[in-house]
């Protein structure tokens, strides 16, 4: 799986080949996720939290038309009459089923016509002369956008009522880890990037951050460990929850991760239409920020800050430099991480030893998005590009940052610097967490 764009000084032909590959991979996945169900399921809203699948499909085509056909290519619009229908800021998700949307056949025809024009634009674009064109940035932005919506569509499949329609091989088995936690030494490290060609505005610019020493778990919190919190009455004791978290726990009647159900002494979960016992060694998934924070408090720990998470993932103590990924600068192939919907579940702890960071932190990329304690905001020197609505309008305390990607994320949209964000009450996303803690006095020399 190719994730990285070519080096900036390679010929445009190499860029064009890479862009064509990532665009094709995204579209193949969009088609897989929409062809898997019938037309009734495509137009149905499976949850007020999600759009109908057919909206997502036409939306990715509309964004592709806006940025690549019209902006980059200067071509005649394919369907300028539908722009407002597929503007994510014009209509809340709960409203979208009642809009005069393109039907399944119309949406498929639309995205196909747009893609044909885009490939022609790609063939004739100089890929220079404008910031949007340098390093084929606009094409990379569109490919990442489609893959992000593909992950959203995958989450919609998880919310569907009905039998299983998606299938994949299981991930590799887990192995024992040498330690439950590792010390990340204090000191500065470079956070963010100024050189990654397709990094988005909220990942920029690179800047030095001073981080105090801390311990971080070598693996995400597992289902087995999280069951301990449930069995200890964690959902019934306000002392483990923040005020906002306890209010949400009561309002939403939370008692376990989403899609879990207990029968007798056995916990079961629903995973893409399959009912199965909760696998103890997999990372816990479908927990909101408040649940993650309450567990950490119960365990005598805390969630890592975003800066701590990135230092654990990228900082190389041997060189003092920040890597692109925990394992180095090489693209995230299947030997390193559980990405790209290859497996429809997170892998057990220790399943990807080659993907560990230099400090021995495992599976920071893939498997489950990891909640951090940080609010979403811009880095020092942040500049919105190419539009305010990608990041800037979401900055503030309403959103918490998640890091690392999930089994449903594509490599093109996951880097050591990539930032995701969501409301702290969201649990339908493929999110889990790992814990951190401060050293006790005398523990760090």
What are the structure tokens assigned to 185, written together?
Answer: 């030494």
Which helix (H) or strand (E) segment holds residue 123: the answer is: helix 104-124
Task: Supply the pLDDT for residue 5.
Answer: 67
What are the structure tokens assigned to 180, written together?
Answer: 């439950």
Q: What is the CA radius of gyration of the chain?
A: 22
Taken in order of first residue, the domains within the chain and their CATH numbers are 12-159 (1.20.120), 169-445 (3.90.1580.10)
Phi and psi torsions of 50, nearest 5°: -125, 155
Task: Supply the pLDDT for residue 6.
Answer: 63
Cβ-Cβ contacts under 8 Å for 345 (sequence gap 6 or more)? 170, 171, 271, 279, 282, 407
Task: Supply the pLDDT for residue 4.
Answer: 66
Point out the residues of the chain with pLDDT beneath 70: 1-11
Say what the pTM is.
0.96
Relative orientation angle of helices 12-35 and 104-124, to the nearest 10 degrees: 170
Asked if 227 and 239 touch (Cβ cutoff 8 Å), the reply is: no
Task: Supply the pLDDT for residue 100.
Answer: 96
Task: Supply the pLDDT for residue 46.
Answer: 94
Asked if 405 and 414 touch (Cβ cutoff 8 Å), the reply is: yes
Task: Supply the pLDDT for residue 61.
Answer: 98
Task: Supply the pLDDT for residue 44.
Answer: 95
Task: Supply the pLDDT for residue 309.
Answer: 98
3-state DSSP call for residue 340? coil
């Amino acid at each position: 799986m190719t994730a990285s764009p070519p080096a900036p000084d390679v010929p445009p032909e190499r860029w064009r080949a890479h862009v064509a590959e990532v665009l094709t991979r995204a579209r193949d996945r969009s088609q897989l996720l929409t062809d898997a169900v019938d037309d009734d399921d495509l137009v149905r809203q499976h949850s007020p939290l999600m759009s109908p699948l057919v909206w997502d499909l036409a939306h990715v085509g509309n964004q592709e038309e806006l940025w690549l056909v019209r902006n980059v290519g200067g071509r005649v619009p394919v369907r300028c009459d539908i722009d407002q229908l597929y503007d994510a800021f014009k209509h809340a998700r709960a409203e979208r089923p009642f809009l005069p949307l393109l039907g399944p056949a119309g949406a498929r025809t639309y995205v196909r016509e747009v893609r044909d024009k885009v490939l022609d634009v790609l063939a004739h674009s100089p890929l220079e002369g404008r910031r949007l064109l340098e390093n084929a940035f606009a094409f990379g932005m569109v490919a990442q956008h489609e893959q992000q919506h593909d992950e959203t569509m995958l989450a919609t499949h998880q919310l569907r009522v009905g039998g299983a329609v998606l299938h994949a091989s299981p991930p590799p088995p887990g192995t024992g880890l040498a330690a439950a936690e590792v010390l990340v030494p204090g000191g500065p490290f470079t956070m963010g990037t100024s050189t990654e060609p397709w990094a988005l505005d909220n990942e920029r610019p690179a800047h030095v951050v001073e981080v105090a020493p801390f311990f971080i778990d070598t693996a995400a919190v597992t289902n087995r460990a999280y069951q301990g919190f449930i069995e200890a009455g964690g959902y019934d004791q306000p002392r483990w929850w923040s005020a906002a978290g306890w209010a949400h726990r009561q309002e939403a009647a939370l008692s376990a991760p989403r899609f879990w159900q207990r029968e007798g002494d056995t916990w079961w979960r629903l995973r893409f239409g399959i009912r199965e016992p909760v696998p103890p060694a997999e990372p816990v998934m479908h927990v909101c920020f408040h649940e993650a924070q309450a567990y950490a408090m119960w365990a005598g720990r805390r969630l890592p800050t975003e800066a701590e998470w990135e230092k654990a993932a990228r900082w190389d103590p041997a060189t003092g430099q920040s890597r692109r990924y925990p394992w180095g600068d090489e693209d995230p192939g299947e030997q390193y991480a559980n990405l790209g919907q290859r497996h429809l579940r997170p892998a057990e702890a220790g399943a990807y030893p080659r993907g560990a960071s230099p400090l021995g932190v495992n599976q920071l990329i893939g498997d489950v998005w990891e909640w951090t304690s940080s609010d979403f905001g811009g880095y020092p020197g942040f500049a919105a590009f190419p539009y305010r609505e990608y990041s800037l309008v979401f900055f503030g305390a309403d959103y918490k940052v998640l890091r690392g990607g999930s089994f449903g994320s594509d490599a093109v949209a996951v880097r050591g610097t990539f930032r995701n964000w969501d409301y702290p009450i969201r649990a339908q996303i493929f999110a889990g967490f790992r814990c951190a803690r401060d050293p006790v006095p005398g523990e760090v020399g």
